[in-house]
Amino acid sequence: YCSERNLAVNPQGGNTGLVGGSVPVFDEIILSTVFMNQIISFDKVSGILVCQAGCILEKLNEYLEEQGFIMPLDLGAKGSCHIGGNVATNAGGLRLLRYGSLRGTVLGLEVVLADGSTLDCLTSLRKDNTGYDLKQLFIGSEGTLGVITAVSILCPQKPKAVNLAFLGCQSFAKVLETFTTCRAMLGEILSAYEFMDEKCMELVEKHLKLASPVTGSPFYVLIETSGSNSTHDEEKLNNFLEQAMTSGLVTDGTVAMDDNKIKTLWSLRERITEALTHDGYVYKYDISLPVGKLYDLVTDVRVRLGRSAKNVVGYGHLGDGNLHLNITAESYSHSLLDAIEPFVYEWTARYKGSISAEHGLGFKKKQFIQYSKPPEAVFLMQGFKAMLDPKGILNPYKMLPSGS
């Protein structure tokens, strides 16, 4: 209908994105997947789930847990984000360190193309080496090449034993060294390694009244293990903690083994975004960098902005080199934005990082793609867009720079 009439379409799932990818800019028709929320099938032997794009991530996880499985991704917006949107933006999140990105766990897709025809690549095979892997074009394409309507995804078994350690470190160098030690000693049971600075903890305590069991450190790390044998896992974790404490990597810490305490500790990390919104206007940056340089950006931005910013905080998924840099101010200021951009992007490009690790480019960052991709790559992307959406009706003004 829209193709025949040259009407622009804005696909929208849970609308939890942070770069304006699911928000209409002018007069696009919003195409919501909210009613496409059926689970089509689940195979307990292979762990392959096939479902419609509008299924809410948390609901899928609850369904799978009853079957002894979990979703391979987990993120703060799980209560409202849709799996279709997760795939369309190649969402990262808290489990990527253990289970990899959606590019590896999504086995097949059903996609409706710009002319209204349906591309059925909804395979449930782990191995299929016939021709180009078309689904990869749509994963992370932010709705600009087609509308994802169903997903086939490989789900891991639910771990029988989950432990969490929340630790305080005296420097970022110690955070890095703790990660190296942790990876060596915990190996296959390590499922998350998150870090946050003391400013994050101050904001979570101040605005959300959450109490941290560990205080007085410049940095905090949250380490999760997931395995099949609680005795084995606890022994490994205790050996690691003993090593970390005696070598001075960690100054203080607490461990959680029961569900309630685990949820309480995770909320200190997952609710940082919420705490920031209470602090004022937030400038958000989602960067990936070589792990050794990760926190240097926060320090440099803090020095650059001085008192013109209220708070400059850094937290994120250290295990995969993903930093969330957030700057708060009393209200939006154009001069403050000019001081932040393109400085943050230039700094990131200098160290061969990515200006968007997991949030995508959407509307807000599309003009900055050249900081992470060479002109030849952008040209090729524009070619794919022109071929699959010749009328330019699918999620226009998003992801690719203007004029494409």
For the chain, the first-to-last Cα distance in angstroms comes to 23
Domain boundaries, the chain: 3-154, 161-274, 280-360
In this predicted structure, what is the pLDDT of residue 304?
Answer: 98
In this predicted structure, what is the pLDDT of residue 404?
Answer: 44
Mapping DSSP to helix (H, G, I), strand (E, B) and coil, where does residue 394 land? strand
In this predicted structure, what is the pLDDT of residue 319?
Answer: 87
In this predicted structure, what is the pLDDT of residue 262?
Answer: 94
Task: Please state, rounded to an integer, the average pLDDT across all residues of the chain.
Answer: 95
Query: pTM higher than 0.85, yes or no?
Result: yes
In which element (H, E) is residue 199 found? helix 198-208
**Backbone φ and ψ of 200, nearest 5°:** -60, -45
Question: Residues 30, 24: contact at Cβ < 8 Å?
Answer: yes
Environment class of residue 124 by beta-carbon count within 10 Å: exposed (0-12), middle (13-18) or buried (19+)? middle
162 residue type, one letter? V
Q: How far apart are CA 399 and CA 142, in angstroms?
A: 7
Task: List all residues 6 or more positions away from 272 whose beta carbon is below 8 Å from its beta carbon.
Answer: 196, 200, 203, 204, 313, 315, 324
Question: Residues 319, 294: contact at Cβ < 8 Å?
Answer: no
Q: How far apart are CA 296 and CA 86, in angstroms?
A: 29
CATH topology identical between 3-154 and 280-360: no
The DSSP annotation for 86-138 comes to HHHTT---TTHHHH--HHHHEEEEEEE-TTS-EEEE----S---SS--THHHH
The reply to whether CATH 3.30.70.2740 applies to domain 280-360 is yes
Q: How far apart are CA 167 and CA 198, in angstroms?
A: 12
Class of the 161-274 domain? alpha beta
Residue 94: pLDDT band with limits 50, 70, 90: confident
Mean of pLDDT values over 318-324: 92
Fold category of 3-154 in CATH: 3.30.465
Mean of pLDDT values over 150-157: 97
